Chains A and B, each alone.
Chain A
Amino acid sequence: MILSQASSPHAKGRMNVSQVMFTVSAATLPGLACLIWFFGWGYLFNVLTAIIFALITETLVMIIRKRPILFYLKDGSAFLTALLLGLALPPFAPWWIAAVGSVFSILFVKHLYGGLGNNPFNPAMAGYALLLISFPVQMTTAWGAPSVMPGHSLPGFFETLQMYLGFAEVVDGYTMATPLDVYKLNIAVQTQAELAMKSEFLAGWLPGWLWVSIAYAIGGVFLIWRGIITWHTPVAVLASLLIMSGLFSWDADIRVPVYLHMLGGATMIGAFFIATDPVSSATSNRGKLIYGAGIGVLTYVIRTFGNYPDAIAFAVLLMNFCAPLIDHYSRPKIYGHEKSVRGYKKEDKA
């Protein structure tokens, strides 16, 4: 009889990487469905383009690095990165936006740092930030107008495809700025009551964005229930953003109000799907709370004082920088030790 001796860790997770990645992907589906329903087929095209280019890039890199191709394609990490990137892009942007972002995410942000598990930054958000910095026109003017707006209808599948591939001009009527952007730009010269008369806000309040946020939140709660993410990061993100906007944006005549901060942008997908990336975020539960709170505060600050329409990507990337430091100062107490070891000690060697 051979008694095999396996090395630690002996307690394994219930799921392997592939199962985790595809469960997270499945959890984004309600959000994707809502986006397509309210804002058109552009989101589907973005997601598909991003995934195709990500898988091609992953394959090529695996060939160059002489690694098993199928094994790494199957783990679904490139798929999920591309999916999240595709969900974040404006629906009427041309196809090469998704392609460039996807290739950059996989090639530069993931594999140049050593591949899955070694990337200090969230690849999807780094790709998004690259696109936002590089192509500000395409990234800010191609947001869709929701189908529920009075007197507005979405372009059909083939019409959208033609616009997507550049065979037809994007009609101005299909696009509009995001509510966060509209509110922030106009509140400087108008009051809340005047803004409410604008078409974006006229139909009650933008049911499209609201439903998308709800769908993402449902997907996120599903992930918490399945034990894939813990509640710490999303709660910390949402709570800190709520507190910041509650403290400083209570006057809706001056700043973007609380409900728009929470439901009008990428807050929900950011809190549940982006910030919870296990590779680039903090590790311990206490660390996740600090990390999430940092994202919430930075999101509010950048949204309020920055020039870009949304801030989740930049906030997540900035906190990615801090994650190793947070980890260092938030180590939990180890079993058998009297207290936890935190921070750098004199005897530590660099």
Chain B
Amino acid sequence: MAKSYGEITKEGLWSNNAALVQVLGLCPLLAVSGSVVNALGLGIATIIVLVGSNVSVSLIRNYVSDAVRLPAFVMIIASFTTAAELLMQAFTYELYQILGIFIPLIVTNCAILGRAEAFARKTSLVPALWDGLMMGVGFTAVLVLLGAMREITGQGTLFSGMELLFGSIAINWEIVLFENYVNFLFAVLPPGAFVALGLIIALKNAIDNYFKTRAEAKKDKVVAGSKRVRVTGTIS
């Protein structure tokens, strides 16, 4: 039973979000989300790898036997990661240097292998591509949100250094929210990422709960007395 594109979109962005629900790929999520530009850079690289690997895995799904599928998947992911790394080296060299080891480490991002294993190897090309894109966008959205939270609390700025990713257009994008801000190192360091991610997950669960209770409240509106079975007397 194939999933519709709407379902895939919803799962990737919200109900099965790689970062918030599956809680996969925490290593780059927590280490690199110190600022928006880092988060966005790594997020885009992850999207490229995720889409590429999902497409390739889906293409070879009938030719690779189950026994050797994992090594094959890892090879594919590693190839795309290398490609993404070289691309970043070519076009955004400074960001490449800042992100450092975390670009090659996309290989070990469980979210990518997880999608290959759980989804792409069972479906045809286009749904796999769409799933990779949506999962990647969902992951990147959380990454950027986390980056924004940590950049604001950590350095008191937003969108600083965006020119590393977007070139000279973005040189004035930096918003200084607080003048003379004393850097809050806790938010810059990984422990702050744990706390911020916990807050985002809590927020997501709270939103889900809110809609769930609202839907239930709507559904359970039973008219008084409608369920009672009368066994005596006459129905008036």
User: What are 15 pairs between A and B in contact, CB < 8 Å?
Assistant: A108-B195, A130-B186, A133-B185, A133-B186, A133-B189, A133-B191, A134-B184, A134-B185, A134-B186, A134-B187, A135-B182, A135-B184, A135-B185, A136-B185, A138-B182
Closest to B195 in A: A108
Whole-angstrom distance from the CB of A218 to the nearest CB of chain B?
35
Cα–Cα distance between A134 and B150 once the two chains are bound (Å): 13
B residues 100-118 in Cβ contact with A at 8 Å = none
Cα–Cα distance between A138 and B183 once the two chains are bound (Å): 11
Cα–Cα distance between A108 and B182 once the two chains are bound (Å): 21
- For chain B, the bracket of interface size reads under 10
Residues from chain A with a CB closer than 8 A to the CB of B186 are 130, 133-134
Residues from chain A with a CB closer than 8 A to the CB of B187 are 134
Cα–Cα distance between A130 and B187 once the two chains are bound (Å): 10
Whole-angstrom distance from the CB of A336 to the nearest CB of chain B?
43
A residues 138-176 in Cβ contact with B at 8 Å = 138
Residues from chain B with a CB closer than 8 A to the CB of A108 are 195
Whole-angstrom distance from the CB of A217 to the nearest CB of chain B?
33
Instruction: Report how many A-B pairs have Cβ atoms within 8 Å.
Output: 15
- 4 A-B pairs with the lowest CB-CB distances in the bound complex, closest first: A134-B186, A134-B185, A134-B184, A130-B186
Closest to B182 in A: A135
Closest to A135 in B: B182
Among A108, A133, A136, the most chain B Cβ lie within 10 Å of the Cβ of A133
Closest to A136 in B: B185
B residues 179-199 in Cβ contact with A at 8 Å = 182, 184-187, 189, 191, 195
Closest to A130 in B: B186
Cα–Cα distance between A135 and B186 once the two chains are bound (Å): 8
Among A133, A134, A138, the most chain B Cβ lie within 10 Å of the Cβ of A134
Residues from chain A with a CB closer than 8 A to the CB of B195 are 108
A residues 169-199 in Cβ contact with B at 8 Å = none
Residues from chain A with a CB closer than 8 A to the CB of B191 are 133
Residues from chain B with a CB closer than 8 A to the CB of A130 are 186
Cα–Cα distance between A136 and B187 once the two chains are bound (Å): 14
Beyond known contacts A130-B186, A133-B191, A135-B182: 12 more, CB 8 A cutoff: A108-B195, A133-B185, A133-B186, A133-B189, A134-B184, A134-B185, A134-B186, A134-B187, A135-B184, A135-B185, A136-B185, A138-B182
Residues from chain B with a CB closer than 8 A to the CB of A138 are 182
Whole-angstrom distance from the CB of A14 to the nearest CB of chain B?
39
Closest to A138 in B: B182
Residues from chain B with a CB closer than 8 A to the CB of A133 are 185-186, 189, 191
Residues from chain B with a CB closer than 8 A to the CB of A136 are 185
Give a binary string over B171-213; 1 marks a CB under 8 Å from any A CB, 0 the rest.
Answer: 0000000000010111101010001000000000000000000
Whole-angstrom distance from the CB of A125 to the nearest CB of chain B?
15
Residues from chain B with a CB closer than 8 A to the CB of A135 are 182, 184-185
Among A135, A136, A138, the most chain B Cβ lie within 10 Å of the Cβ of A135
Whole-angstrom distance from the CB of B40 to the nearest CB of chain A?
25
Whole-angstrom distance from the CB of B20 to the nearest CB of chain A?
18
Cα–Cα distance between A108 and B191 once the two chains are bound (Å): 13
